[in-house]
Structure 1
Amino acid sequence: MASVIPGFDYRRVPVADGVSLNVAVAGSGSPVVLLHGFPQTHLMWRHVAADLAADHTVICPDLRGYGASDKPAADADTNTNTDANADTDTDTDTDANVDTDTDPAAYAKRTMAADIVALAHALGHDRFALAGHDRGALVAFRAGLDHPATITHLACLDVLPTLDMWDVLHGTTAAVGFHLFLMAQPPGLPERMIAACPDDFFGHFLDLWAGDPRAIPAEVRAAYLDACRAAVPSIVADYRASAGVDVDHDRADRDGGRRLTMPLTVIQQDWGAALDYDAAALWRAWADDLEHHTVGYGHFMAEEAPADIAKALRELLSR
């Protein structure tokens, strides 16, 4: 049972041509979608999801390219600039510039965000709250920018927006993000290197980033490693997009003054002290209604302090 959240119903939901997502759903009430990070699957939300399902409809998908969701081949032009103002939302966002002729890269956060909007719509929800951790937070951030009429509340856990992340990584301190630079390289070498020892590579982050290793029990850790081992090309493609097309999209939005208009909660470790940046200030540049919290947990905070994270999400939903 390590690969499922007890009490949740599982289904596969088509969200794009040739792409279906594995999704766990439970509860009733206003919808909340929870997006996982790296190197995890939707299982990282198991405690928080069970808590929120007491009075919300909770939707926990595996992102495209991860877990049991489909893993389309990456577009050859992942590092090229697609239309930065494209909006694939199926409803009408009056403050978004729509270009339905654009075909975004397979793992651009714009594409992955459109997956999540399509998923919620397929499940009957025109508007929903969205929380993401790590990679899932980048997808959530993009969804908030591209689909402001759809996302009612937004939470981003332990991440910076892509453009800001690259700006703060410099000098020897950038070594902490070595995997970002590795997976940004052209297709071929990163995939072969990681596939040669996937458990060592992905396990390194599970061990290094955990403030409390007991928060990820052996059977869950094994489920994460199994999922990652089967998804090396798509995981690399996700990261490669963040060194290319995702930067283009963020820069276009920042230059154009596009902002997050829904209530936003950000919960982060204090990386700013080590990397010499003010995380709250970086987020304020993007958001009209921000609550920023610095915490002492490890990176896997939804597993290490689930009661605190559930409480913070409930407080966000009340705003």
Structure 2
Amino acid sequence: MTSRIPGFDYQRVTVADGVALSVAVAGSGSPIVLLHGFPQTHLMWRHVAVDIAADHTVLVPDLRGYGDSDKPVAVDGETYSKRTMGNDIVALARAFGFDRFALAGHDRGALVAIRAGLDHPDVITHLASLDGMPTVETWDVLHGVDGAIAFHLYLMAQPEGLPEQLIAGSPDAFFGHFLDIWGKNPQAVPAEVRAAYLAASRAAIPSIVADFRASAHADIAHDLADREAGNTLRMPVTVLQQDWGSALGFDAEGLWRKWAPDLDHRLLTCGHFMAEEAPAEVVRALRELLVR
């Protein structure tokens, strides 16, 4: 089973009390950290990471609660808040000697990247979001029957117990559903990688649910505080999104500009798993971001 990115060294790095992240590392030069989405692991960056490592130091961790990283029990709403997960990434980079670094995230990783950018503006030099939006905006645009596309957000927002039990009853069907419907090119996620994603997700149901639950509570509160204070992302920001904003009846770029004054917003024709479906386009966008 494919579980590693070729040419990358794997380490475990302690980032908080009792929490270590598994991270793949390669390359040299200015650093960039790549954060994966749901229901994936760091493997989603396998194409992009190898290319970028030709002239950058590339760190590709599994987020807390995912993959081979630690999965602490959620003792409160902050255990898996994006603020806590973003602090993990800052600590990870510092463990490698980097006080400033670029950050790119896909899906859930995008939420972590956005929060890290808001909380640590003097640390994050450049930020990329792949098919994600700030948490508060995501919830704001979901309404009516169109909100059914995000049924999992509502399911995993429920109090502890029921979501975990329902998902555990048929985990491969649940997690596999998103791998099936969110991509436009099934060949982009080969069978061995899909199997790795499903195995990792089966082993992480409580922490994955806790991650999503936090986005309906702590993460919203953090975003609303920044919105009220007028805080924005101060660094250059690149957003890559599917053309789903107009389909759902809202202006994704307009929403993003409220948060990112220095914005390069691009629509891609691939599906949600763009780092796997359109790696050359993602690499090009990241390289252009890093020289802004």
Q: Which bracket does the TM-score occupy, shorter chain normalised? A: over 0.9
- Determine if the alignment matches structure 1 residue 183 to structure 2 residue 156: yes
Equivalent in the alignment of 2:30? 30
The offset of 1:193, in angstroms, is: 0.2
- Determine if the alignment matches structure 1 residue 307 to structure 2 residue 280: yes
Secondary structure of residue in 2 paired with 1:273: coil
Equivalent in the alignment of 1:278? 251
What is the root-mean-square deviation in Å for CA atoms of aligned residues?
A: 0.6
Equivalent in the alignment of 1:264? 237
Letter in 2 for 1:266: V
The within-5 A match list for 1:211-250 is 211-250=184-223
165, 170, 174: which one pairs with 2:138? 165
Equivalent in the alignment of 1:62? 62
The offset of 1:210, in angstroms, is: 1.0
The offset of 1:29, in angstroms, is: 0.5
Structure 1: state its 5+ residue gaps: 79-104
The within-5 A match list for 1:123-202 is 123-202=96-175
Measured in 1, the distance between the counterparts of 2:7 and 2:276 equals: 18
Measured in 2, the distance between the counterparts of 1:160 and 1:120 equals: 24
- Determine if the alignment matches structure 1 residue 297 to structure 2 residue 285: no
Normalising to structure 1: TM-score of the pair?
A: 0.91
The offset of 1:287, in angstroms, is: 1.1
- Determine if the alignment matches structure 1 residue 119 to structure 2 residue 104: no
Question: How many aligned residue pairs are there?
Answer: 292
Measured in 2, the distance between the counterparts of 1:212 and 1:288 equals: 33
Secondary structure of residue in 2 paired with 1:272: coil
Measured in 2, the distance between the counterparts of 1:307 and 1:265 equals: 15
**Where has structure 1 moved over 3 Å in runs of 4 or more?**
none
Letter in 2 for 1:275: L
The offset of 1:137, in angstroms, is: 0.2
Secondary structure of residue in 2 paired with 1:164: helix
The offset of 1:236, in angstroms, is: 0.2
The offset of 1:270, in angstroms, is: 1.4
The offset of 1:255, in angstroms, is: 0.4
Measured in 2, the distance between the counterparts of 1:261 and 1:288 equals: 7
Measured in 2, the distance between the counterparts of 1:191 and 1:240 equals: 11
Measured in 2, the distance between the counterparts of 1:181 and 1:275 equals: 18
Measured in 2, the distance between the counterparts of 1:295 and 1:305 equals: 8
Measured in 2, the distance between the counterparts of 1:194 and 1:123 equals: 37
The within-5 A match list for 1:46-61 is 46-61=46-61
Secondary structure of residue in 1 paired with 2:247: helix
Normalising to structure 2: TM-score of the pair?
A: 0.99
Letter in 2 for 1:219: E
Measured in 2, the distance between the counterparts of 1:207 and 1:75 equals: 33
Equivalent in the alignment of 1:99? none
Secondary structure of residue in 1 paired with 2:55: coil
Structure 2: state its 5+ residue gaps: none
Measured in 2, the distance between the counterparts of 1:106 and 1:167 equals: 24
Deviations 1:38-65 (A, max 9, x none): 0000000000000000000000000000
Equivalent in the alignment of 2:7? 7
Secondary structure of residue in 1 paired with 2:121: coil
The offset of 1:240, in angstroms, is: 0.2
- Determine if the alignment matches structure 1 residue 206 to structure 2 residue 179: yes
Secondary structure of residue in 2 paired with 1:154: strand
Percent identical pairs in the alignment equals 71
The offset of 1:154, in angstroms, is: 0.2
Measured in 1, the distance between the counterparts of 2:272 and 2:132 equals: 9
Letter in 2 for 1:44: M
The offset of 1:26, in angstroms, is: 0.2
Measured in 2, the distance between the counterparts of 1:3 and 1:39 equals: 15
Measured in 1, the distance between the counterparts of 2:268 and 2:72 equals: 36
